């Protein structure tokens, strides 16, 4: 069995809640595309904290 076959995404579940700020949306209330990268990074950092990984460089 390969490592890929043993990978189970359910083991890596994580949820981060955040508030969409008014300057992240346009006049129609749609989040700007570039902001999603920031949201992803916020979730990634919170996930690393959750599993006990250090964020020291």
Dist CA 37 CA 53 (whole Å)? 21
Q: For residue 24, give its domain range.
A: 17-57
Q: In this structure, is residue 12 part of a structural domain?
A: no
Q: In this structure, is residue 47 part of a structural domain?
A: yes
Per-residue model confidence as pLDDT tens digits over 13-26: 888 999 999 999 99
3-state SS string for the chain: CCHHHHCCHHHHCCCCCCCCCHHHECCCCCECCCHHHHHHHHHHHHHHHHCCCCCCC
Q: pTM (2 decimals)?
A: 0.71
Specify the number of domains making up the chain.
1
- pLDDT, tens digit only, all 57 positions of the chain: 566 667 787 888 888 999 999 999 999 999 999 999 999 999 999 999 998 998 776
Place of tokens 């460089």: 57
Instruction: Look over the chain and give the mean of its residue pLDDT values, rounded to a whole number.
Output: 87
Q: CA 39, 11, 53, 5 torsion: positive or negative?
A: negative
């Amino acid at each position: 069995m390969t490592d890929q076959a043993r990978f189970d995404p359910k083991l890596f579940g994580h949820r981060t809640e955040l508030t969409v700020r008014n300057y992240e949306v346009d006049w129609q209330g749609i989040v700007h595309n570039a902001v999603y990268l920031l949201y992803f990074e916020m979730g990634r950092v919170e996930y690393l904290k959750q599993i006990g990984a250090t964020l020291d460089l």
